[in-house]
Amino acid sequence: MSAVSKDAKRMTTHVLQKMKQKGEKISMLTAYDYSMAGIIDGAGIDVILVGDSASNVMAGHETTLPITLDQMIYHASSVIRAVKKSLVVVDLPFGHYQSNSDIALSSAIRIMKESGAHSVKLEGGEDIADSIKRIVAAGVPVMGHLGLTPQSIYKFGTYTVRAKEEEEAAQLLKDAKLLEELGCFAIVLEKIPAKLATKVTQSISIPTIGIGAGNGTDGQVLVSHDLFGITKDFSPRFLRRYLDLHNDMTAAVQSYIKDVKSTDFPNEKEQY
Ligand code: KIV
d(Cα 11, Cα 4) in Å, to the nearest integer?
A: 10
Q: Are 212 and 148 in contact (CB under 8 A)?
A: yes
**What distance, in Å, lies between the first and last C-alpha atoms of the chain?**
49
Prediction pTM value: 0.96
d(Cα 40, Cα 14) in Å, to the nearest integer?
A: 21
**Domains of the chain, each with CATH number or no CATH:** 4-241 (3.20.20.60), 244-272 (no CATH)
DSSP 189-212: EES--HHHHHHHHHH-SS-EEEES
pLDDT at 229: 97
Q: How many angstroms does the Cα of residue 52 sit away from the middle of ligand 1?
A: 7
Q: From the CB of 209, is ligand 1 less than 6 Å away?
A: no
CA 52 to ligand 1: nearest atom:
1
pLDDT at 1: 42
d(Cα 67, Cα 113) in Å, to the nearest integer?
A: 19
pLDDT 10s digits, 176-206:
999 999 999 999 999 999 999 999 999 999 9
Pocket residue to mutate for ligand 1, from 47, 142, 191, 211, most atoms within 8 A of Cβ: 211
Annotated catalytic residue within 114, 190, 268, 270? 190
10-residue stretch averages of pLDDT, the chain, 272 residues long:
58 98 98 98 98 98 97 98 98 94 97 98 97 98 98 93 97 98 98 98 98 98 98 93 98 98 98 97
